[in-house]
A and B are shown apart, each in its own frame.
Chain A
């Protein structure tokens, strides 16, 4: 199985700050990587797919990138509504594995 190692586990940031979350894949997954946001008590929502493509309705302050097998989610200017837990997911092969999550809080 492909392991997705996500960091940090938690993150505290101020409004308007730049936030970066990373995921390291245990093997080559190409651009088969998605990011999800989950708010308390809610279902996950797709943010980014194919490493860099924004899902419908996702603000442009979110962006994704890749360097080898390391993937990053960047929030350019943190807003209150961005608070939640973020997960990466590899879509390269079954089982489709998720990272352990990053809990993003407001400082």
Chain B
């Protein structure tokens, strides 16, 4: 059974940082691209970042709204993906979901999400 579990959310002041973690199991992690998608309270879905697999040179991609402030990475030995979020702004307040895709870029399994609140 595919399992995806995010941790690391919380309340942080504007300008602060957090590291979100996503632990996975139940599938061959090395075969998949991993993504973070966020959802601000009462709003829709926004794709945030992607890290591809070893066969694709661990290439990373970011939404313009987070580029330069967020860093996605993965540890294949731990079947985990991370999102370092820095220089946080109020508009980064959201549930952050970890999700996977293959080369077709459809998100077929999602974690339960982790809440990040940016407030003074």
Interface residues of A (CB under 8 A from B): 1, 32, 34, 36, 43-46, 49-50, 55, 87, 89, 91, 94-101
21 residue pairs bridging A and B, Cβ less than 8 Å apart: A32-B105, A34-B107, A36-B45, A36-B107, A43-B97, A43-B110, A43-B113, A44-B37, A45-B110, A46-B107, A50-B104, A55-B108, A87-B44, A91-B101, A91-B106, A94-B47, A95-B61, A95-B63, A95-B64, A96-B35, A99-B44
Complex CA distance for A32 and B105, rounded to whole angstroms: 9
- Whether B47 lies near A44 (C-beta < 8 A) is no
Residue count of chain B within 8 Å CB distance of chain A: 21
Given A43-B111, A43-B113, A91 and B47 touching (CB < 8 A)? Answer: no
B58 CB to nearest A CB, Å: 15
Q: Does B112 contact A (CB under 8 A)?
A: yes
Q: For residue B44, which residues in chain A have a CB less than 8 angstroms away from its CB?
A: 87, 98-101
Counting chain B CB atoms within 10 Å of each CB, the highest count among A45, A46, A94, A96 belongs to A96
Q: For residue B108, which residues in chain A have a CB less than 8 angstroms away from its CB?
A: 46, 49, 55
Among A32, A49, A50, A97, which residue has its beta carbon within 8 angstroms of that of B47?
A97
Within 8 A of A (CB), among B86-120: 97, 101, 104-108, 110-113
A104 CB to nearest B CB, Å: 14
Q: Does B31 contact A (CB under 8 A)?
A: no
- Whether B106 lies near A94 (C-beta < 8 A) is no
